[in-house]
Structures are given as structure tokens and as C-alpha cells.
Amino acid sequence: MKLTFKSAESSDLNPLLTFAQEFNQEDHHPFHEAIVRAGLIKLLNDGTAGRIWLIQADAETVGYVVLTLGYRLAYGRYAFIDEIYVRPAYRSQGIGRQAIAFAEEICRELGVKALHLEVEQANAKARALYLAVGFVDYQHYLMTCWLKRPPTHSAGSGQATDRRPPQDVFEIRNTTQAGNDSFNITFTSAQNSDIEMLAMLRQESGAEGQASSRATLGQVINDDSLGRIWLIETDHQPVGYVVVTFSYSLEFHGRDALLDELYLRSSAQAISRPSLKFAQAQCQALGVNALHAEMERANTLAQSLYRAVDFEDDDSYLMTKWLNDLRF
């Protein structure tokens, strides 16, 4: 069987919609044709958001692969296998394995450092395949806060915030639970002049050294398409920072974001919740549909904090394959 991967074009929209509908039906997910159509058109016309390929076996189109792109301070560009689907009659013939190898090669050409995917805990067969081709399960998963839910998706405990324009400087007054202490919290959009302070804070947090920090911090600060960074101060003293990076997802119906890093000095742990709410509000103002946070399965304390501000658990494993000889 000859296998080829055809870069999808606008003329392939209808077969892609058919595959997407089959994929969602098989996974028991709702299929919103208009929303999926818009997402596919975005990816077909904007290579910075991601790529789509049709999988062809002996000239028969049997599935598709969707690869989306993002950025992280820790290592730069990453990619996510957003969707991969092969029709049932063509499974167990090595097509999935070859599709993953193809995606890896594309990632290397694009300078991607890490390739991620999610697999449901109950799907032992798929998880075994990904482990066999070099993906690692670090016992992490993604928690998600919906900022703009799909039409038929019922709301959870609450939406993040009302939509407001993003601001360069945002100030709130925080009062402790005891009610006897209050202080101002200021979130300021990071500028190049803040790189040294941010690099020092990242080093405090246990991130990599300041030299590598400066490069990735500068990338995000100077390219709004990658994400946003805010310096956090209480009463005019720097106490931490928050980083949100952007990506695109058919599953989340458009633009989504990752809470890439949130660090607060020990003296400022009391403002964790308002810091998360600030990130949610800014993402919502920027048109983000869903905000994700990577979570260790064993970190129940952090999970409780994020659930309290409307993040939801997911039953999937987050798996990673490091490319270009990068390891963590």
C-alpha cells in the first residue's frame, strides 16, 4: 500500500468536513458544521496557525491530520496533533504510525522543539502506539476554562468574566480572607525594559537560566501573535509574572491559549486566584475561546485552586515527544 500525505487546499474543504464529522461522531462529540468549517478555513489559509494534510492510501483518501502551532517560554515553538483520523476500514495497517512520523518530520522542518497530543485514558491501544513511537507520558493533563462555549455546550459553575478590552496596566484591590489586610495588585504588560526582572523571576521559579530566558521572553514581548506577558506587582513591588501563549484548535473552535507560566513569590501566594482571574479576563478580551493549564495529576492542591476559578478537568493524558535533541 502506497501512503501519501497531501497538503490540504481550499478545494478539499468538503471532504475535510466529512472526515471531521466522522471523527466527532466516533468520539461522541457534538459536531457544529459552521464552526468546524470556519476553523478549517482558518487553518487552510493561515500557515502560522497550523497545517492540515489528507491521508491517501493507494490514491484513496482515508483520513486527515491536523497540526496546530504554539509557543512556550521553556523551549520555544511547539506543535499539537489537534486531530488525527483514519477511517475504520484502514486501521491496524500502520497508517497512524506513518502519519505521526510524517508530522514529526514537518515539525523538525518548522523548527518545532516539542510535539504534543492528548489521548483518552480509556484508549489503551492509542496510548500504547504513542509510547511505542517515542512519546512520553509525564502524568500531566490539561485543565480547561471555557471563555466562549460552543452553542450547545452547557455552562459549568460560571463563565470567567465579562468581556472587556485588554489593558496595558490593570490594577485591583485585594482583601485577605480575614478582611484585615488589603493591598493593590498591578498587572503591567511587559516591555523590553522588563526582561531582566522577568529573567530573574523565572530563575527564582526554577525555570532555565537567565540567558535562555531573555531570548524567549523577548520573542513573546515583541510578537503579539505568540502571547502576552504581564509583570505582577503588589504595592509597587514586583512579586511575580504571568505568561499566556496562543494557539489554535478545531476541538476548541478557534483561538485557544495556554497559561504557560504563572509565578508568585512566597509572599504573594495569596493573590493566586486574582492572578488567574486576570489571565482569564485578558484572554476573553482577546477573543480566546478556551484557556488551558498544564497540570500534574498528583498536584491536587493546584487542581483545587484552578477548579475554584472555573477550570475543568479532562480525562486525557498529555503526551510529549521531544524533537531536535531537546529533553526535559
Per-residue pLDDT of the chain (328 residues; tens, 9 = 90+): 899 999 999 999 999 999 999 999 998 888 999 999 999 999 999 999 999 999 999 989 999 999 999 999 999 999 999 999 999 999 999 999 999 999 999 999 999 999 999 998 888 988 999 999 999 999 999 999 999 877 654 444 444 444 444 556 666 655 444 445 566 899 999 999 999 999 999 999 988 655 578 999 999 999 999 999 999 999 889 999 999 999 999 999 999 999 999 999 999 999 999 999 999 999 999 999 999 999 999 999 999 999 999 999 988 999 999 997 655 4
**Alpha carbon distance 320, 224 (integer Å):** 26
Residue 10 DSSP code? G
- Retrieve residue 236's grid coordinates: 509597587
Name the one residue in this structure whose C-alpha cell is 490540504.
Answer: 8
Sign of the Cα torsion 29, 35, 37, 38 reads negative
**How far is the C-alpha of 18 from the C-alpha of 16, rounded, in Å?**
5
- 61 in Cβ contact with 98 (< 8 Å): no
Amino acid present at 70: G
Q: How far apart are CA 13 and CA 40, in angstroms?
A: 7
CA separation, residue 171 to residues 178, 188, 240 (Å): 21, 9, 15
Which of 266, 113, 272, 245 shows the shortest CA–CA distance to 201?
A: 266
The terminus-to-terminus CA distance of the chain in angstroms comes to 37
Distant-in-sequence, close-in-space partners of 206: CB < 8 Å, separation ≥ 6: none
Domains of the chain by range and CATH?
A: 3-139 (3.40.630.30), 169-313 (3.40.630.30)
Supply the pTM of this predicted model.
Answer: 0.89
User: How many Å apart are CA 289 and CA 316, to the nearest integer?
Assistant: 20
Q: At CA 69, angle to CA 111 and CA 316, rounded to 5?
A: 120
Is 12 in contact with 54 (CB distance < 8 Å)? yes
